[in-house]
Amino acid sequence: MKALTPSEIVFCDNHLLIAMKPPGLLTQPTEQEELSLEQLAKQWVKKEYAKSGNVFLHCIHRLDRPVSGLVLFARTSKALSRLNEQSRAQEIQRIYTAEVQGVLGEPQGKLDHYLIHAEHRAQVAKSTDVDAKHCRLTYEVLRRSERRTLVKVELETGRYHQIRAQFGAIGHPIVGDSKYGGSGDGKEIHLHCSYLALKHPVTQELLKFESSPTFS
């Protein structure tokens, strides 16, 4: 991937940018790899607005490399501060669509676990374990087939690999997620950030964005 297409820039104004991340691409660069959605979005802003210097762009939330969907970026330091405040106060709503292995019987449910952030994965733990953090999500079944279930997922907490680890823990790993018990190579998994709602950091207007996953 060398450049973002117009369809992958969902929204952009002077204060924020929302881009679509494909599976397999990092959200932010690392010491080992520079190619990322953030880098490509900076290139797009630089070209679109004919900027000569460095581009200010910081992501508010990250998606794991094999996950796709909507990602929110701040374009100014003021927007970054205000959007981070919203995020800490859990005022930014994110809804995910996931396809899991097996058939979930109940039309909706809630998952409660304690997780520890281990090396490159989340590990289910006891509430009394050191560094264990409570995790909760709710889900609603959208569609069932003989071997898979499509669900809408909303996080009540935001932990590392939370959705992936929690569905893996109940024996219904996300399709493709080999790290948590699913089939496939783990490079692309059936998890997509499909809805994003937030207050504009300057105008306070309520903004809502939707995106359908390719696996739906």
Q: Which of 13, 64, 112, 177 is catalytic?
A: 64
21 closest CA partner among 69, 62, 64: 69
Looking at residue 34, its pLDDT comes to: 79
What is the torsional sign of CA 152, 121, 146, 110? negative
pTM value? 0.94
CA-CA distances (angstroms) from residue 115 to 55, 77, 125, 156?
A: 36, 32, 5, 14
Say whether 129 is catalytic: no
Amino acid at residue number 88: R
Q: Does the structural domain 6-92 have CATH classification 3.30.2350.10?
A: yes
Check for a shared fold between 6-92 and 96-191.
yes
CATH code 2.30.110.10 for 96-191: no
Kindly list the domain boundaries of the chain, sorted by start residue. 6-92, 96-191
pLDDT of the chain along its 216 residues, tens only? 578 888 899 999 999 999 999 999 999 998 888 799 999 999 999 999 999 889 999 999 999 999 999 999 999 999 999 999 999 999 999 999 999 999 999 999 999 999 999 888 999 999 999 999 999 999 999 999 999 999 999 999 989 999 999 999 999 999 999 999 998 888 999 999 999 999 999 999 999 999 999 987
The partner residues of 70 in beta bridges, in order of sequence, read 20
The residues with which 68 forms a beta bridge, in sequence order, are 192
**What pLDDT does 1 receive?**
55
